[in-house]
Amino acid sequence: MKNSIETKTLKAREDFIMTKGSNQQIKCDQQSLAGAVSQRACVYSGARVVLNPVKDAYHLVHGPIGCASYTWDIRGSLTSGSDIFRTSFSTDLREKDIVFGGEKKLTTIITELIENDNYQPEVIFIYSTCVVGVIGDDLKAVARRAEEKYGIRVIPVESSGFSGTKSKGYKAACEALLNLMEDFKEKSSEQQSSRTKKIGGKNVFKQQAAIMEQSNKENKANGQAEVKFSQSDTRKAKINALVKKLNHLSEIQTSSGINSYENLKQARRLIKQKQRSKTRKKLNLLGDYNLAAEGWIIKSYLQEVGIEVVAGFTGDAGIDDIRRAPTADLNIVQCAGSMKYLARRMKEEFGIPFLEISFLGLQDSLESLRRIAAQLKDPEIIENVERLIARKLPPVLAKLKVYKSYLAGKKAAIYVGGAFKAISLVKQFNQLGMKTVMVGTQNGKAADYQKLEKLTDPGTIILDDANPSELEEFMRQKGADVLVGGVKDRALAYKMGLAFFDHNHERKDPLVGFEGVINLAKELDLTINSPIWSVIGSGKNE
Amino acid sequence: MQDLVPKEFKERNSLVINPVKTCQPIGAMYAALGIHGCLPHSHGSQGCCSYHRMHLTKHFREPVVASSSSFTEGASVFGGRANLETALKNIFAVYDPEVVAINTTCLSETIGDDVTSIVSGMEIPPGKTIINASTPSYVGSHVVGFANMVKAMVKQLSEKREPAQTNNKLNLIPGFVDPGDIREMKRILEAMDIDYILFPDQSDVLDTPLDGNYKMYPDGGVTIPELKDTANSKATIALGALASQPAAFELEKMHDVKAYTLKTPVGIKATDEFLMQLLKITGQEIPAEIEKERGQLVDIIADTHHQFHGKKVAIYGDPDIVISLTEFTLSMGMKPIHVLTGTPGKDFEAEINKMLKDADWESNVAAGGDLFQLHQWVKKEPVELLIGNSYGKLVAKQEDIPLVRVGFPILDRSVHSYLPKIGYKGAMLLVEKISSALLDRKDRDTDFELTEFVL
């Protein structure tokens, strides 16, 4: 077992694995080896997970049925409005489409979608899959024709599975989002000339009217609120009451999960009410997918300190939110792996600066709130942030102390998709007195691995794009107590008699912010200290 | 999203909304896991392999290991030969399986990779076996992929003894069912003292105990010598026309092993037929123990038939299972008024319609349908129970109808893969599930004053 790297690992894989303290450079950001039991997915999967939460868009998968089936509602993104994104639309390509091309079928299906009386798509995203890339369907042409005919947006997503790694899919999704934001530019110029472009079709006028009305309302609301907020104490009191309510609500959500629609509706109402109240600055939240209401928790903090979130990318994002996103003062990026590209592009296109933040973990949450406030250079926001922290922090610290006593000394192994998650997890484990004995990611970059190396103790195994046998080998070798990973790793950990902590799409409890810190500790305690591990026949190590 | 489901049915030509099927390769992967020491290999992009593993892991809650050719842009232009060759070398060097079962994907099929010729040109380490099946995702469904891989097992491995000599065994192909079902089949065969080769066999592969030791290749699975020996058996019973028949026919064609296709033995009638067929082929008696189980099952249904009689039910899922479930619910006096599978094929409709001929009511039957269509049917003509996979929850919640989970995939409940739905024991469990679902609903809907202990 000692020489496991040599015995169980392929030579070509050795460079992707390192031990902290060995002065070795880790290789990463490469295509997986052919034949590897990799946990990685494809370009399409990357595009799908990033784009799919856009709630009122129609997501049409152009390909054989599998690609649609496996990604049908796997994200767990919560919505406060439309839930059409959770419906699986597929062109279900058959043999004859492969032979004669799928464009005709795609065109028919778009027509079926639009002419169906019950659907009123404003935006259709068409995802390209492996086979579509090979048979060479011209999605752009089909989309353009549909746009001309019906006056809605039909946006192709260039996500043929084989054309790269998942990261490329993130980019494809970001491009599609930018494509949607192009509307903003058009809209502003149209409004200036106060003429509407004649495209024809049933939805276009409704859509434009809605956008104009929306922006009018906004202008009005902003103008009025500005005066009232500073003048009226009662309004301030009202806002405070709302904040209280919202906090209470987020506590309900975090303790028992969001399982009733009433809960959801209440949250939506409160958020809407708060949005109407005066906010001093506007930003977009990038790289949050509102899993288990995480986006709402972050939004509630930001709103409390006087910042409006224009659009979440893409958790609980509506088409109109995305279209208005270019009006924001700042972009904050949570999951950098998937969304830093969009932040960069929005900086180029719209001049919006961006800030990489993380609301995973206490340290990161505090730091992020303060950095956002500092970046916005608004004294009131800076003050509000301190007030929020002063209120939220003490109870969290008190609870953490209790959990620390349950968890200190436990050894954790981490294998997650994005490096930002891994980094924040290591920090949180350090805070809980736990040791990280192995940490790996599917899509980490060199800089991420340097950060990880800095954060971990000597002897920690760091690895890129690992396979199950490597995970098993190192977890055993290092005597891990818990594995943090995704769905495929869960079964592996359990089979080894190890605890498991879900840090993937399927998680049901929010892990961000003050609430998240406690949830993480609570769940770790729940799984590590479960009585089930004590009834397993043989020992877990050796 | 359910608000958008209209009652009125409008012809859709091609758009699939909320599928009741998935693609061939996952079925092939599941079949391959039923071979001992086998690493399924997906010849295509990484995503396919990753999705199939994820989906199977969610249904079985067990680790599922498989490898991928990890196609790149280059591979899809110049062909996947190099990728497959490298992959196989790496696989034998690192993971050391006894068998590699390669399935193709829509990508490798479309670019025209000839896997058979690539593999035959390769040096395979001694004692190792490679089989391959063509499983284009744009034909059939996951059940067809399963059938194709099982067919490949016998086509590429079965060997007639020289000189011809029977092994006195019976081949049994269980179909696309859970390990719990396979265990039950084995129990029945063993109770009848029948020597058998059962393939593919996922028991002890996807239902292994937790003892703190992870085995990449668990103890279960049909072995290569057994698969070779299928050519010398006296007969093959294929359970499920779509999933199992092609392999049985192949054996008949190649080695003259007589093939009998039966329904998946869900329910009394189908189990009776299965046992009678076993008796006919082997001459073995049906043991008293099994006969007693039948009697108990009939007793249970007699005790509770008033709960089921006339209840309208919608059944959806994979064809072999849906056909048997339809027969079973009919035999309990229920009315299966909507019956749907996502897998295309005319035989399904014919089979169901034959069963429904005696019934006086109009039923909706569709092959190649989707959940949206089923939902429309249910809206138009409501049912009291849904039977099918987890995705039916969409309809169940919206229309407030109880759902009994049977089939693949079940992602939101557990234990299903350990317990049988086949045989008399399996039928008892089904009756219990259906009865509980109906009575829980009744209890929920009954005013407190009218609630009774005895039902």
Please state whether beta strands A17-19 and B235-239 pair in parallel, antiparallel, or not at all (unpaired): unpaired
The per-residue pLDDT for B14 is 82
Given CB atoms, is A480 within the 8 Å cutoff of chain B?
Answer: no
Q: What residues in B contact A102, CB-CB < 8 Å?
A: none
Residue B227, in any domain of the structure: yes
- Distance, CA of B395 to CA of B376 (rounded, Å): 9
How confident is residue A486, by pLDDT bands cut at 50, 70 and 90?
confident
How near does any CA of chain A get to the CA of B289, in Å?
A: 33
Identity of the residue in A69, A108, A537 whose CB atom sits nearest the CB atom of B211: A537
Q: What residues in A contact B1, CB-CB < 8 Å?
A: 83-84, 86-87
- Distance, CA of A354 to CA of A341 (rounded, Å): 11
Give the position of tokens 């008949």: B252
The per-residue pLDDT for A206 is 44
Paired strand residues for B236: B171, B259
Q: What residues in B contact A119, CB-CB < 8 Å?
A: 4
Residue A514, in any domain of the structure: no
The per-residue pLDDT for A266 is 66
Q: Are residues B137 and B219 in the same domain?
A: no
Q: What residues in B contact A136, CB-CB < 8 Å?
A: none
Given CB atoms, is A472 within the 8 Å cutoff of chain B?
Answer: yes
Q: Are residues A393 and A461 in the same domain?
A: no
Q: Are residues A452 and A389 in the same domain?
A: no
For testing contact with chain B, the best of A31, A56, A65, A93 (most B CBs within 10 A) = A65
Number of separate domains in chain B: 3
Residue A530, in any domain of the structure: no
For testing contact with chain B, the best of A92, A99, A103 (most B CBs within 10 A) = A92
Given CB atoms, is A530 within the 8 Å cutoff of chain B?
Answer: no
Q: Are residues A350 and A446 in the same domain?
A: no
The per-residue pLDDT for A230 is 40
Tokens encoding B114: 């000839």
Last residue in a domain, options B265, B289, B313: B289
What range does the domain containing A74 cover? 43-191
Asked if residue A227 has pLDDT above 80, the reply is no
Q: Are residues A84 and A209 in the same domain?
A: no
Residue B297, in any domain of the structure: no
What range does the domain containing B195 cover? 170-289
- Distance, CA of B174 to CA of B188 (rounded, Å): 13
- Helix-helix angle B423-445:B319-331, to 10 degrees: 70
A 10 A CB-CB count for A276 gives: 15
Asked if residue B154 has pLDDT above 70, the reply is yes
Asked if residue A474 has pLDDT above 80, the reply is yes
Answer whether A228's CB lies under 8 Å from A278's CB. yes
**What's the pLDDT tens digit per position in A237-248?**
655 555 555 555
Give the mean pLDDT of A295-303: 95
Residue B418, in any domain of the structure: yes
Tokens encoding A416: 């997650």
Partner-chain contact B63 A487, CB within 8 Å: no
Q: What residues in A contact B68, CB-CB < 8 Å?
A: 32, 34-38
Q: Are residues B215 and B125 in the same domain?
A: no
Residue A15, in any domain of the structure: yes
- Distance, CA of B347 to CA of B238 (rounded, Å): 16
Residue B12, in any domain of the structure: no
Q: Are residues B338 and B385 in the same domain?
A: yes
Identity of the residue in B50, B76, B95 whose CB atom sits nearest the CB atom of A162: B76
How confident is residue B355, by pLDDT bands cut at 50, 70 and 90?
very high
Q: Are residues B117 and B56 in the same domain?
A: yes
Residue B373, in any domain of the structure: yes
Residue A502, in any domain of the structure: yes
Q: Are residues A232 and A368 in the same domain?
A: yes
Asked if residue A93 has pLDDT above 70, the reply is yes
Asked if residue B166 has pLDDT above 50, the reply is yes
**What's the pLDDT tens digit per position in B104-124?**
999 999 999 999 999 999 999
Q: What residues in A contact B391, CB-CB < 8 Å?
A: 72
Residue A539, in any domain of the structure: no
A127 phi/psi in degrees, rounded to 5: -90, 130
Residue B8, in any domain of the structure: no
The per-residue pLDDT for A337 is 84
Asked if residue A313 has pLDDT above 70, the reply is yes
The per-residue pLDDT for A539 is 46
CA dihedral defined by A233, A236, A240, A246, rounded to 10 degrees?
A: 150
Q: Among residues B332, B356, B287, B314, which one has the least CA distance to residue B428?
A: B332
Residue A538, in any domain of the structure: no
The per-residue pLDDT for A2 is 36
DSSP collapsed to 3 states, B123-147: CCCCCCEEEEECCCCCCCCHHHHHH
Partner-chain contact B18 A87, CB within 8 Å: yes
Q: What residues in B contact A472, CB-CB < 8 Å?
A: 214, 216
Closest residue in chain B to residue A487, using alpha carbons only:
B54
Q: What residues in A contact B20, CB-CB < 8 Å?
A: none
Asked if residue B303 has pLDDT above 50, the reply is yes
The residue among A264 and B121 whose pLDDT is bigger is B121
The per-residue pLDDT for A270 is 63
Q: What residues in B contact A35, CB-CB < 8 Å?
A: 41, 67-70, 86-91, 94
Q: What residues in B contact A91, CB-CB < 8 Å?
A: 14-16
pLDDT-wise least confident of A438-452, A504-518, B3-17, B104-118: B3-17
How confident is residue B75, by pLDDT bands cut at 50, 70 and 90?
confident
Partner-chain contact B137 A64, CB within 8 Å: yes
Q: Are residues A24 and A58 in the same domain?
A: no
Q: What residues in B contact A98, CB-CB < 8 Å?
A: 106, 110, 138
Q: Are residues B100 and B49 in the same domain?
A: yes
Q: Are residues B210 and B242 in the same domain?
A: yes
Q: Are residues B444 and B309 in the same domain?
A: yes
Tokens encoding A33: 């080896």
Q: What residues in B contact A481, CB-CB < 8 Å?
A: none
Residue A515, in any domain of the structure: no
How near does any CA of chain A get to the CA of B3, in Å?
A: 9
The per-residue pLDDT for A116 is 81
Query: Across chain A, what does the average pLDDT equal?
Result: 83
Q: Are residues A282 and A237 in the same domain?
A: yes
Closest residue in chain B to residue A48, using alpha carbons only:
B47
For testing contact with chain A, the best of B7, B210, B343 (most A CBs within 10 A) = B210
- CA dist list (Å): B70 to A164, B54, B110: 10, 17, 16
Cα four-point dihedral sign A42, A43, A49, A52: negative
Closest residue in chain B to residue A113, using alpha carbons only:
B15
Answer whether A433's CB lies under 8 Å from A375's CB. no
Q: What residues in A contact B86, CB-CB < 8 Å?
A: 33-35
Last residue in a domain, options B229, B260, B289: B289
- Distance, CA of A323 to CA of A329 (rounded, Å): 15
Using CB atoms and an 8 Å cut-off, which of residues 488-527 of chain A contact chain B?
488, 490-492, 494-497
How near does any CA of chain A get to the CA of B145, in Å?
A: 12
- Concatenate the DSSP letters of all residues of A131-158 into one string: HHHHHT--HHHHHHHHHHHH-SEEEEE-
Closest residue in chain A to residue B88, using alpha carbons only:
A35
Q: Among residues A469, A453, A376, A516, which one has the least CA distance to residue A37?
A: A469
CATH number of domain containing B147: 3.40.50.1980
The per-residue pLDDT for A513 is 95
**What's the pLDDT tens digit per position in B221-248?**
999 999 999 999 999 999 999 999 999 9
Asked if residue B67 has pLDDT above 70, the reply is yes
Those residues whose C-beta lies under 8 Å from the C-beta of residue B372, and which sit 6 or more positions away, are: B5, B17, B18
Given CB atoms, is A10 within the 8 Å cutoff of chain B?
Answer: yes
**What's the pLDDT tens digit per position in B307-354?**
999 999 999 999 999 999 999 999 999 999 999 999 999 999 999 999
How near does any CA of chain A get to the CA of B248, in Å?
A: 26
Enclosing H/E stretch for A459: none
Q: Are residues A371 and A227 in the same domain?
A: yes
Using CB atoms and an 8 Å cut-off, which of residues 307-346 of chain A contact chain B?
none
Partner-chain contact B107 A9, CB within 8 Å: no
Tokens encoding B153: 């097992």
Asked if residue A131 has pLDDT above 90, the reply is yes
Give the mean pLDDT of B397-424: 97
Q: Among residues A289, A277, A218, which one has the least CA distance to residue A243?
A: A277
ipTM of the complex as predicted: 0.94
- From first CA to last CA, the distance across chain A in angstroms is 10
Q: Are residues B308 and B439 in the same domain?
A: yes
Q: Are residues A257 and A340 in the same domain?
A: yes
The per-residue pLDDT for A277 is 52
Asked if residue A273 has pLDDT above 80, the reply is no
The per-residue pLDDT for A214 is 54
- CA dist list (Å): B376 to A57, B60, B380, B404: 22, 30, 6, 19
Partner-chain contact B68 A118, CB within 8 Å: no
Enclosing H/E stretch for A86: none
Give the mean pLDDT of A125-145: 95
Residue B410, in any domain of the structure: yes
Identity of the residue in A68, A129, A490 whose CB atom sits nearest the CB atom of B19: A68
Q: Are residues B281 and B406 in the same domain?
A: no
Q: Are residues A366 and A457 in the same domain?
A: no
The residue among B314 and A213 whose pLDDT is bigger is B314
Give the mean pLDDT of A456-470: 88
Answer whether B437's CB lies under 8 Å from B404's CB. yes
The residue among A463 and B230 whose pLDDT is bigger is B230
Q: Is B195 helix (H, G, I), strand (E, B) or coil?
A: coil
Q: Are residues B361 and B425 in the same domain?
A: yes
The per-residue pLDDT for A34 is 86
Last residue in a domain, options B125, B157, B189: B157
Residue A526, in any domain of the structure: no
The per-residue pLDDT for A182 is 84
Tokens encoding A64: 């054989």
Number of separate domains in chain A: 3
- CA dist list (Å): B1 to A84, A269, A326, B398: 5, 20, 29, 9
Answer whether B38's CB lies under 8 Å from B101's CB. yes
DSSP collapsed to 3 states, B237-268: EEECHHHHHHHHHHHHHHHCCEEEEECCCCCH
**What's the pLDDT tens digit per position in B390-404?**
999 999 999 999 999
Q: Are residues A246 and A353 in the same domain?
A: yes
Q: Are residues B140 and B201 in the same domain?
A: no
Answer whether B206's CB lies under 8 Å from B63's CB. no
Identity of the residue in B16, B95, B138 whose CB atom sits nearest the CB atom of A131: B138
Partner-chain contact A164 B73, CB within 8 Å: yes
Q: Is A324 helix (H, G, I), strand (E, B) or coil?
A: helix
Closest residue in chain B to residue A82, using alpha carbons only:
B1
Tokens encoding B208: 């292994």
- Distance, CA of B274 to CA of B264 (rounded, Å): 8
Asked if residue A200 has pLDDT above 50, the reply is no
How confident is residue B131, by pLDDT bands cut at 50, 70 and 90?
very high
A 10 A CB-CB count for A107 gives: 16
Q: Are residues B311 and B397 in the same domain?
A: yes
Identity of the residue in A34, A43, A63 whose CB atom sits nearest the CB atom of B69: A34
pLDDT over 90 for what percent of chain A? 58
Residue B16, in any domain of the structure: no
- Distance, CA of B171 to CA of B230 (rounded, Å): 6
**What's the pLDDT tens digit per position in A406-443?**
999 999 999 988 888 899 899 999 999 999 999 998 88
Strand order in the sheet with B364-367: B364-367, B335-341, B312-317, B385-388, B403-405
Number of cross-chain residue pairs from A and B with Cβ atoms under 8 Å apart: 251
- Distance, CA of B133 to CA of A233 (rounded, Å): 74
Asked if residue A475 has pLDDT above 50, the reply is yes
Q: Is A490 helix (H, G, I), strand (E, B) or coil?
A: helix
- Distance, CA of B329 to CA of B309 (rounded, Å): 9
Using CB atoms and an 8 Å cut-off, which of residues 65-124 of chain A contact chain B?
65-72, 83-84, 86-95, 97-98, 105, 108-109, 112-113, 116-119
Q: Are residues A325 and A250 in the same domain?
A: yes
Query: Across chain B, what does the average pLDDT equal?
Result: 95
The per-residue pLDDT for A246 is 53
CATH number of domain containing A428: 3.40.50.1980
Closest residue in chain B to residue A169, using alpha carbons only:
B47
Q: Among residues A301, A418, A351, which one has the least CA distance to residue A49?
A: A418
Answer whether B185's CB lies under 8 Å from B178's CB. no
The per-residue pLDDT for A540 is 45
**What's the pLDDT tens digit per position in A174-199?**
999 999 998 776 666 655 554 334 34
Identity of the residue in A13, A162, A538 whose CB atom sits nearest the CB atom of B211: A538
- Distance, CA of B430 to CA of A211 (rounded, Å): 54
